[in-house]
Amino acid sequence: MDAVSNYVVVDAIYDTEDINTITKFLKESTANKNKIAITTDLDKNYSLIIPKLGFKHIMYFSC
Full domain range(s) for residue 36: 1-63
Distance of CA 54 to the CA centre of its chain: 11
* Strand ranges inside the chain, DSSP E: 37-40, 56-59
Share of the chain above pLDDT 90, in %: 0
* pTM of the entire predicted model: 0.63
For residues 53 and 22, the answer to whether their CB atoms sit within 8 Å is no
Phi and psi at residue 8, to the nearest 5°: -65, 130
Residue 37 β-bridge partners: 56
First to last CA, the chain: 18
Average confidence (pLDDT) over 21-47: 82
Domain tally for the chain?
1
63 has a pLDDT exceeding 60: no
